[in-house]
Amino acid sequence: MAENNPLNLLIPFIGVRIKYMSDLLKLGVLISGNGSNLQSIIDHIEKGSLKAIIKIVISNNPEAYGITRAKKHGIPVVILKNGDFKNKEEFDLELIRILKNNYVDLVILAGFMRIITPTLLKAFPHKIMNIHPALLPSFPGIHGQKQALEYGVKLSGCTVHFVDEGVDTGPIIIQSAVQVFDNDTEETLAARILKEEHRIYSQAIQLFAEGKIEIKGRKVRIKTET
Task: Name the minimum Å distance from CB 197 to ligand GRF.
Answer: 5
Catalytic status, residue 143:
no
- Any idea how long the chain is? 226
Task: Name the minimum Å distance from CB 142 to ligand GRF.
Answer: 9
Instruction: Note whether 98 and 56 are within 8 A (CB).
Output: yes
Distance CA 170, CA 128 (A): 10
- Of 96 and 133, nearer to ligand GRF (C-beta) is 133
- Of 37 and 117, nearer to ligand GRF (C-beta) is 37
DSSP string covering 125-184: TT-EEEEESS-TTSS-SS-HHHHHHHHT-SEEEEEEEE--SSSS-SPEEEEEEEE--TT-
Task: Name the minimum Å distance from CB 153 to ligand GRF.
Answer: 17
Task: Name the minimum Å distance from CB 94 to ligand GRF.
Answer: 22
Catalytic pick among 44, 132, 161, 198:
132
- Of 131 and 180, nearer to ligand GRF (C-beta) is 131
Where along the sequence are the contacts to ligand GRF (CB under 6 A)? Answer: 33-37, 110-111, 131-133, 194, 197
Task: Name the minimum Å distance from CB 82 to ligand GRF.
Answer: 17
Long-range Cβ pairs for the range 86-93 (8 Å, 24+): 88/114, 88/115, 88/117, 89/117, 89/119, 91/60, 92/116, 92/117, 92/119, 92/120, 93/119
Verify cis geometry, omega within 30 degrees of 0, for the bond prior to 171.
no
Strands 155-162 and 128-132: antiparallel
- Of 101 and 165, nearer to ligand GRF (C-beta) is 165
Catalytic residues: 132
